[in-house]
Amino acid sequence: MSHPIQFLLRAKEMPTHWYNLLADFPEPLPPPLHPGTKQPATLDDMKAIFPENLIAQEMSAERMIEIPQEVRDVYALYRPTPLLRAVRLEKALKTPAHIYYKYEGVSPAGSHKPNTAIPQAYYNKLAGTKRLATETGAGQWGSSLAMACQVFGLECTVYMVKVSFHQKPYRKLLMQTYGAKVYASPSRHTAFGRKMLAESPDSPGSLGAAISEAIEDTIKNHDTKYALGSVLNHVCLHQTVIGEETMKQMELAGEEPDIIYGCAGGGSNFAGIAFPFLREKIQGKKKFRVVAVEPASCPSLTQGELRYDFGDMAETTPLMMMYTLGHKFMPPSIHAGGLRYHGMAPMVSHCKKLGLIDAVAVTQTKVFEAGVLFARSEGLVPAPESSHAIAAVVDEAIKCREEGKKRVLVFNLSGNGLLDLAAYDTYLSGEMQHPTSGGGA
């Protein structure tokens, strides 16, 4: 085999700036609204939960935003991440397509989430925050934030969706190893959690509910701020290091992508790989197709409505213009816990509305089929979330075979699945239900 399969950047080629797509949208993004007045949310409205430096970044229209040296020094633990060509998967599929994947699972927490956890902890430290409160689904965000808080000397409290707390003990232990306090949500530590428990003691919890608890904890404690692992503009911004590196690496590979894929829960890893490529698409330089892949059981982009909605169940967050299934939506406990969110990032939603991106939904059994095929051909066990992107890539690669067409497919492999083997167990033992009601997250 003579194809090069690894496209590595040197440390000094790590991006120095994040890319802000807000600067280039052909139509402005509708602003977040104050939940009470329904007027555009101001800096003052958000100061109760976020530090001012991050709010400024959330609202910034600056095109390229410099990554602070202190953040780059921590990124250097795992960045630049590799881009690989999946030649063995191509062979297994007998496809003329060329398949490339950007691998974000090399981070200490095993996913792309430290890309934003690190700068969020840094900016909070700078602003004098003592403790960060957050929610987590399957635990990837909680463990990423716990790691970043530890690096910058902040305390960290995590409200973890109850079903995952009990069924996925390893990420809880990872968070505790990094020094975080972890509560199963709904918990007795907040008024919202107690109210939920009184109404339904056996509630499995949801991300929307856990967000409500973390925000309440933040508002009631003045040294505490809140951190969100997806959805918001500044989170999408921080993730663009993925796409900036991928563009340079595709140059090394000497190919232009035809289609770019990312799985989409709240939309941040998808934004990370897609937005730098969309910059060129908007400038009319390139004609990539860009595809967000979501679970059929939580299909905000393909089945949701584009409207203002809350980010949480308690209706405390600003209203955001996004594709949403409604903030009371209780997603089934599918195995890809990281994709169980009722809404889609406003920036990603706006891309869909403007026709800059497409979206597809895939069923859970297809996702695991693709994940296992990938593990057996490439040797790497993908996170179930990432396997959504793989499933869409596999479909396209088969189409290329049937049409006898070579296309260059690039996807973000957002994390590894080494702490998700229980979900693989369910699949391998034939117990996985199809398509919307998996056994647990």
Ligand X SMILES: *Cc1c(COP(=O)(O)O)cnc(C)c1O
Smallest distance from the beta carbon of 339 to ligand X, in angstroms? 6
Q: 19 near 275, Cβ under 8 Å?
A: yes
Q: Which is nearer to ligand X, 265 or 318 (CB)?
A: 265
Q: Which is nearer to ligand X, 85 or 238 (CB)?
A: 238
Q: Which is nearer to ligand X, 138 or 408 (CB)?
A: 138
Enter the tokens of residue 364: 């859970």
Give the helix/strand (H/E) hosting 275: helix 268-282
The residues, any chain, with a CB within 8 Å of residue 224's CB and separated by 6 or more, are 129, 130, 131, 132, 133, 157, 217, 218
Smallest distance from the beta carbon of 109 to ligand X, in angstroms? 8
Smallest distance from the beta carbon of 415 to ligand X, in angstroms? 3
Number of H helices, E strands in the chain: 18, 15
Contacts 24+ apart (CB under 8 A), 394-403: 394/93, 394/370, 396/97, 396/259, 397/89, 397/90, 397/93, 397/95, 397/97, 397/99, 398/93, 398/95, 400/95, 400/96, 400/97, 401/93, 401/94, 401/95, 401/96, 401/97
Smallest distance from the beta carbon of 202 to ligand X, in angstroms? 25
Q: Which is nearer to ligand X, 95 or 206 (CB)?
A: 206
Smallest distance from the beta carbon of 388 to ligand X, in angstroms? 8
Q: Which is nearer to ligand X, 126 or 372 (CB)?
A: 372
- Can you name the residues that pair with 362 across neighbouring β-strands? 295
Tell me which DSSP letter residue 266 carries.
S
The closest alpha carbon to 311, from 191, 122, 186, 135, belongs to: 135
CA separation for the pair 236, 19 (Å, rounded): 9
Smallest distance from the beta carbon of 191 to ligand X, in angstroms? 28
Q: Which is nearer to ligand X, 111 or 246 (CB)?
A: 111
Residue with tokens 């989409």: 264
Q: Which is nearer to ligand X, 20 or 239 (CB)?
A: 239
The closest alpha carbon to 306, from 287, 293, 320, belongs to: 320
Give residue 197's Cα distance to chain centre: 28
Q: Which is nearer to ligand X, 269 or 333 (CB)?
A: 269
Residues within the interface to ligand X (CB under 6 A): 111, 113, 140-141, 230, 263-270, 338-339, 383, 385-386, 414-415
